Amino acid sequence: MKKISIVSAIILITVVIINSCGSLSVKLSEEGTGFTPAQAYLIKGKHTNSPMRVLQSDNMEDSLFLREICSPVDPVADKNLLMTLISRMQATVTDSLTAGVGIAAPQVGISKRVILVQRFDKEGEPFEAYLNPAITHYSKMKQDCREGCLSVPGIRGTTKNRSYAIYVEYNDMDNNQKGELIEGYTAVIFQHEIDHLNGILFFDHLR
């Protein structure tokens, strides 16, 4: 998600009602885990701290790739490559040329369920990585948010259907399953980045 100088999310401070219960929809399995040789080559291609090329929606080949459904990662079996990928994704999203508040692995050419989110709701506003994230609860209350995307040049728009609060389940690097309630602008970043893992771009919500 692209950095927006003035956070324009309209956040209503009120009680949030989280509806329904559910379970983690993305489960790890043998099928679909592990990096391909081509992915490993791309991840290891340069220094571990160097930015990666960000795919662009106005490029035909890139735009097709950005619409793919990403496969899960295995945090244990793929640990070394995962750590390199996360390091390079952070270098990319914090690079002055591609500064943003979040990034998903498909944006750097890796069709895996990995995202980085800047936690504006935490002290120091750190970037944190989430593996196999899935939203299992959405608040009925919505929020408006002006969004942009590192992969969508020249377009910004105000989405009106982002939930104010969400419950996100994910795996950590030790393959523990975790869950967390996220609210406000940070919840929009999670929704935006998890959309990327399912081939959805923010302007799909503007229609």
Binding site for Zn ion (CB under 5 A): 1, 149
Is 193 labeled as catalytic in the residue annotation? Answer: yes
Dist. CA 158–CA 148, nearest whole Å: 9
Nearer to Zn ion, 98 or 143 (CB): 98
- For residue 130, the minimal CB distance to Zn ion (Å) is 15
**What are the residues facing 139 on neighbouring strands?**
18
Give the Å distances, CA to CA, from 33 to 45, 74, 144, 174: 21, 6, 36, 15
CB of 149 to Zn ion, least distance (A): 3
Residue (138 or 190) nearer to Zn ion, CB: 190
DSSP labels for 58-127? TSHHHHHHTTSPPBP--TTTTHHHHHHHHHHHHHHHTSTTS-BSEEEGGGGT--BSEEEEE-TTSTT--E
Smallest CA-to-CA distance from 160 within 14, 53, 43, 8 is with: 8
Q: Which one of 31, 147, 169, 193 is the catalytic residue?
A: 193
Helix axes 37-44, 79-93, angle to 10 degrees: 50
**Tokens representing residue 56 in the block:** 């662009």
Q: Give the DSSP H/E element, type plus range, for residue 37.
A: helix 37-44
Provide the token pair at 152.
């969508």
Nearer Cβ to Zn ion (117/149): 149
Query: Taking the complex as a whole, how short is the minimal distance between the CB of residue 19 and Zn ion, in angstroms?
Result: 26
Shortest distance (Å) from residue 100 CB to Zn ion:
8
Shortest distance, position 192 Cβ to Zn ion, whole Å:
6
User: By beta-carbon distance, which residue lies closest to Zn ion?
Assistant: 149
- Spatial distance between the Cα atoms of 109 and 136, rounded to a whole number of angstroms: 26
Q: Which is nearer to Zn ion, 105 or 165 (CB)?
A: 105
Q: Which residue, 39 or 159, is less far from Zn ion as judged by CB?
A: 159
Enzyme catalytic residues: 193
